[in-house]
Structure 1
Amino acid sequence: MLKNAVLICLSLLFCTPTEASLSEKSTDNTTIELFSDGKAEYIARFAIKDGWHIYWSNPGEIGRPTTISTNNEASGLKILNQSAPQIVKAFDIIDEYVYKKSAYFHLKLQQTKDVQLTFSFVECNDVCKPQALSFNLQELPQTPKEIWENLQSTIKVELPQKLHVNSPTRQNKIQLELPPHTAVNFLPAQSGRVAEQSVQISEENNKTLISWEKDTAESEPLSQALVVTPDKSYALEIDYQYSADFSLYYILALAFLGGLILNA
């Protein structure tokens, strides 16, 4: 009887996955902890070994983006927010957008049944290693309430402030109210949508103006970007609308055509 009890205990100890193993995955240089509110909201915390880095969703001029995917299109995965990257110079001339030491991703899904969440990234120092770590969301334990609330407080401070801004159609221009003479970096969150060296940043009437050109005529409009200042970062959702000048021209043209029809 005692022998059987010991065997059962050993079996439970070594064969049953612990909550830690379900919510934490690691490579040699990167650890991801995934926290859940028990519904459909998640916070992923990356811990990256000293001397190593991974890349932002837009890696810059070299590198590979960190991506998040699921095995089920119906999961409705949405990245609500993510840490702002550091801007570093490779070989003193090439811009890279990277995460060092740590990063947070705030996620939401519409459904989690039979869903596997996969983080794909490249960890680099003198060499680069493609990696992927996956989590079974059905097996993921709910994070204790106190820990979840502390994480929510942390990401409010750590993650960029979200802003919705408008750009006149075909002009690719936005304006922000930032403190005067603030050093500003504008990082497109989507690769292949902004022409290299085309971003222009200026100040006018106490507002920061940012403009850019599309990478090619066929490129999709830029819809997400990051503005980084010494004190704060802003995650931009960019909408496009007709400018007042264009709208007035359109109205006048319609009125002219209407007059021609009435006089015909």
Structure 2
Amino acid sequence: MLVMAVSPLTGLAISGQSRMTACARSPLTGAIGDSQCGGFFPAEMRSAAVDAIVFTGRAPEPVYLWVHDGEAELRPAGHLWGKVTGEVDRLLKAEVGDPKAEVAQIGPAGENLVRYAAIMNMVNRANGRTGMGAVMGSKRLKAVVVRGTKSPKPAQPAEFRGLVKRLKELQEANPGINWFGQYGTAGVLAIQDKMGGQPTRNYTEGTFEQCKDIDGSTMVKTILKERDTCYACVIKCKRVVEVHDPDLEVDPVYGGPEYETLTFFGSMCGVGDLKL
């Protein structure tokens, strides 16, 4: 069984509330798998009049789920199987006839049951923990596509507007919010390293001598193209990077590395080059 669920507040214009949780038995650990994503997919799922989707069983052939304003339909996805996320996102939006549709999908890793495979939405937002992409692959579920026009409304609009205003004031008064928006989760590397808690060389060390070369401040000065955001979020912590080198092309559609990426492919492997 695989469950995708949002909260009662998802879809309201509250910074940080566009979250979707995917849960299943983890193929990585054999225990409960719980993984969250951000982006615009969670808010769009709620606007499509869906609070939760429960998947059971296994399709005989690859399929994707199309949900539009509470109407659900399983469609063939054999023509999408084996394709990467950027291409599938484009093809599915064209297929459902709506560029504003949001797509949560798996790529070749999930299809081949890699036990740590992620579920990706917007091509660059991930349910990245506990192997939920492999669960989708085991069900031959290539993607979930959602589109809705039924955005949730607060029961007490005036009080809700007051709450949003108060949250905005608190965010503007907190210098950490601006810092987090500027450097994203990548900015945490330097802090962790200074405290001796940056995972390095397969957890054998707590500091990395090239940490500064791969942290958020260096990213801002080198490969960062722009900052992106999730639905109704004012922080804009999402990294979007771009590289055009003779031996390396990085497409900004795939976003950019977060703290976990930089740690596990950087300091954990002794790699001190952002472009690697």
Query: TM (normalized to structure 2)?
Result: 0.29
More helix by share: 2
Query: TM (normalized to structure 1)?
Result: 0.30
More strand by share: 1
Higher gyration radius (CA): 1
